[in-house]
Amino acid sequence: MPPLFYQDIKRKKEMKPRNWKFWKTENKNDHSLNQGSSKLPKPKDLPDRVGMHLVTQLKLDPDWVWSLKGVVRPTTEKGNFEIRIFDPKEAVISDVKVTNFNSLDDFPEMILFAGCFNKNNGWVDIKRTADKAA
């Protein structure tokens, strides 16, 4: 039987070196850790400019408007966003899970208003998309 230390040396040669710096990637061009920045945001309250446009220009009830939620997606132009506005109460009743802008693609009847806005200069272009939009 070989001595014990000989077995340890043999085992060390067979073992692969471990990457103890797990927070660093081996490939500098690997963007798998940065995928979070490309994800679309979850539903949020309406941006102020969009809500004010619905109340002042489209003459909608302010209490109802501010109860709505919106999902946004950036466009190619800096500061411009596409927005889809929906009623979260209707989504719960219909058992629709709205997680981001693209999740409403399968449920166009849930979209009350759709359009674009620019958060830098205040430009808003929102149109009704559903008949049940008050």
Domain ranges of the chain: 40-128
How big is the chain by its Cα radius of gyration, in Å? 26
Question: What is the tens place of the pLDDT at every residue in 49-72?
Answer: 999 999 999 999 999 999 999 999
Q: CB-based contacts of 97: which residues, under 8 Å, 6+ apart?
A: 91, 103
Question: What is the per-residue pLDDT for 39?
Answer: 82
- pLDDT beyond 70 at 102: yes
Question: What is the per-residue pLDDT for 65?
Answer: 94
C-alpha distances (whole Å) from 40 to each of 25, 37, 61, 101 are 24, 8, 29, 7
Question: What is the per-residue pLDDT for 17?
Answer: 62
pTM for the full predicted model: 0.68
